[in-house]
């Protein structure tokens, strides 16, 4: 798609990674508090560079979503945050502490993790699994801890199955138990590695709602996902990773305005001459044509009524004029295409295919 290349070249971000939040017009850097700061980290496994110059900053009280194809290093990044793995070079700071050093205990105590595999003890009951976590996370063994266990289980609707062995749980129940376990100790930072995998749509929705609620209470959430639709309504910040590095980071609005700096409108018409007319109209900067649809860059969307009038007056058979609002999917593929690697596209499914409804548009840039 030539158009995207053209637009992104205009936006001036096809070279080395520019941290988008630096150019954010609305928020000052010094006002913001970062819970996680990974700088120039690398980590290799034998010949594989799992993390290769990664920079990630996660702001306090916000939901950040890590997007990236299989093998991008998302899980490895989460493991670095809790200190389960240490970076070979570079630094990782969490709550201002070094998770792989002496302060690791403090960091891990304040983190709640749902890993990609539920990592539950199949031979134990749901209750015993939560009990174990309660003890390891220093909630103690008293009635207070018991209440907290019941509360967390109820949050995810598994309070009725706590007496059963986890080996007999369905995939979704295991995920819920893992989620309940992760919030048991009221963590300051919640790290979720594809937390809705295996959940039915209703449960997945409930989980996303809960994540939203947690951040309202001041907790910070970092979530990895492949599901763009899921990230779409949820993410305050998006980090797109590939091959162990950050491709792009910022709020959805910021990222969209980087890739689509001017408002756009899509005009559908069977008449090619009509598009020539379109290009000459006031306020239209550029037109790119793809079959029967032309995409016009405008100075402002307020031009649309005039545009319609001029085209109709010019006898152009206009079938549709739609302002273009990029979705996260548009953004994701634009970024990935821009960076010249499209191999991971098969693991990202278009939102429409999942839900049967059109994807939600990204919010306007602030």
- Using CB distances below 5 to 8 A depending on partner kind, what does residue 174 bind out of other proteins, ligand ATP, Mg ion, none? none
State the binding string over 147-186 for Mg ion (x if CB under 5 A, else -): ----------------------------------------
70 near ligand ATP, judged by CB under 6 A: yes
| C-alpha span between 154 and 148 (Å, rounded) | 10
Contact present, 266 and 324 (Cβ < 8 Å): yes
Residue among 237, 231, 242 at smallest CA distance from 254: 237
By CB under 5 A, residue 75 contacts Mg ion: yes
17 by Cβ neighbours in 10 Å (0-12 / 13-18 / 19+) ranks as middle
Site for other proteins (CB under 8 A): which residue of 111, 278, 334, 365?
111
- Near ligand ATP by CB under 6 A, which window of 53-61, 71-79, 271-279, 313-321? 71-79
Q: How far is 115 from 333, CA to CA, in rounded Å?
A: 26
Q: How far is the CB of 336 from ligand ATP (least distance, A)?
A: 14
Q: What is the distance in angstroms between the CA of the first residue and the CA of the last residue of the chain?
A: 27
Strands 293-298, 264-268: pairing kind: antiparallel
Q: Which of 68, 83, 187, 326 binds ligand ATP (CB under 6 A)?
A: 68
> Which has the closest alpha carbon to 256: 350, 339, 365?
365
Neighbouring-strand partners of residue 322: 266
Does 192 help bind ligand ATP (rule: CB under 6 A)?
Answer: no
Q: Which stretch binds Mg ion (CB under 5 A): 18-26, 28-36, 67-75, 167-175?
A: 67-75
Binding site partner of 84, from Mg ion, ligand ATP, other proteins, none, Cβ cut-off 5-8 A by kind: other proteins
Determine, following the binding rule CB under 6 A, whether residue 195 of this chain makes contact with ligand ATP. Answer: no
Stretch that binds other proteins, among 130-138, 205-213, 239-247, 348-356 (CB under 8 A): 130-138
CA distance 216 to 237: 15
Residue 356 CB neighbours (<10 A): 7
47-106 binders of other proteins (CB under 8 A): 79, 82-85, 105
Q: Which is nearer to other proteins, 56 or 120 (CB)?
A: 120
What is the Cα Rg of the chain in Å?
A: 24
Q: CA 214, CA 68: separation in Å to the nearest integer?
A: 24
Give me the residues that bind other proteins (CB under 8 A), please: 45-46, 79, 82-85, 105, 108-109, 111, 113, 115, 117-124, 128, 132-133, 135-138, 165, 181, 191
Give me the residues that bind ligand ATP (CB under 6 A), please: 45, 48, 50, 68, 70-76, 116
């Amino acid at each position: 798609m030539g158009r995207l290349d053209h637009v992104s070249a205009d936006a001036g971000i096809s070279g080395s990674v520019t941290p988008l939040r630096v150019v954010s017009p609305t928020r000052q850097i010094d006002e913001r508090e970062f819970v996680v700061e990974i700088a120039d980290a690398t980590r290799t496994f034998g010949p594989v560079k799992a993390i290769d110059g990664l920079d990630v900053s996660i702001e306090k009280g916000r939901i950040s979503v890590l997007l990236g194809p299989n093998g991008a290093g998302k899980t490895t990044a989460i493991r670095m945050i809790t200190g389960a793995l240490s970076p070979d070079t570079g630094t990782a700071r969490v709550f201002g502490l070094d998770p792989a050093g002496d302060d690791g205990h403090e960091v891990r105590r304040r983190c709640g993790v749902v890993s990609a595999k539920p990592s539950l003890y199949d031979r134990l009951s749901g209750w015993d699994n939560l009990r174990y976590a309660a003890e390891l996370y220093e909630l103690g063994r008293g009635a207070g801890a018991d209440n907290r266990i019941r509360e967390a289980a109820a949050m995810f609707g598994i309070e009725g199955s706590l007496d059963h062995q986890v080996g007999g749980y369905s995939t979704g129940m295991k995920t819920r138990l893992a989620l309940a376990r992760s919030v048991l100790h009221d963590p300051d930072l919640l790290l979720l590695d594809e937390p809705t995998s295996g959940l039915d749509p209703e449960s997945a929705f409930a989980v996303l709602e809960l994540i939203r609620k947690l951040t309202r209470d001041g907790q910070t959430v970092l979530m990895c996902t492949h599901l763009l639709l899921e990230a779409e309504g949820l993410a305050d910040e998006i980090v797109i990773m590939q091959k162990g590095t950050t491709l792009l980071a910022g709020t959805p609005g910021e990222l969209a305005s980087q890739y689509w700096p001017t408002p756009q409108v899509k005009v559908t018409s069977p008449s090619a001459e009509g598009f020539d007319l379109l290009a000459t109209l006031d306020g239209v900067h550029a037109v790119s044509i793809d079959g029967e649809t032309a995409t016009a860059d405008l100075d402002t969307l307020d031009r649309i009524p005039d545009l319609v009038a001029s085209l109709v007056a010019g006898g152009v058979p206009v079938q549709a004029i739609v302002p273009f609002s990029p979705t996260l999917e548009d953004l994701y593929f634009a970024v990935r295409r821009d960076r010249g690697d499209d191999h991971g596209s098969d693991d990202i499914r278009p939102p429409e295919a999942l839900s049967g409804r059109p994807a939600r548009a990204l919010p306007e840039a602030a």
